[in-house]
Copies of this chain bind each other. A is one copy, B any other.
Amino acid sequence: MDKLIFTNDQLADFARWLKVICEPNRLLLLEKIIDGVQCNCELGDALEMAPNLISHHLSVLREAGLIEAERDPVDGRWVYYSINLKAMEDLRSLFGDFFDTRRIQPRRLTCGPQVTEEQRLSLLRMTK
């Protein structure tokens, strides 16, 4: 575990990643690309989505760095999309760090009823 506390900038960055992948159609696209289906029309057939909508979402994923595009060397009309391994690993790692249960701290006593902890334990005993 590398990160104990995340800065606001890191959280904003994390949120940007999450915004990209939380869209249901984009998650479906990612799943298909991970599973080996890769060009716009294959993806469109598999997911019953229009080509322009596919392009739009793929563009968002590409700009986020999660996927890469490559034209077919024989016929450049075909564009194949693949996962960016490094980005996928980074994101998985970031997520794992953020949701690492070892990070959980006990409640901070900066607020709450105006009694001391000792008094409070006494009161608790009395109520039981």
Which B-chain residue is minimally distant from A91 (CB atoms)? B99
29 A-B pairs within 8 Å (CB atoms) are namely A6-B31, A14-B27, A15-B23, A15-B24, A18-B18, A18-B22, A18-B27, A21-B22, A31-B98, A34-B104, A35-B105, A36-B106, A37-B107, A37-B108, A45-B110, A72-B113, A73-B123, A73-B127, A74-B120, A74-B124, A75-B113, A78-B112, A78-B113, A80-B112, A85-B104, A88-B101, A89-B101, A92-B95, A92-B101
Residues of A within 8 A of B (CB): 5-6, 8, 11-12, 14-15, 18-19, 21-24, 27-28, 31, 34-39, 41-42, 45, 72-75, 78, 80, 82-83, 85, 88-89, 91-92, 95-96, 98-101, 103-108, 110-113, 115, 120, 123-124, 127
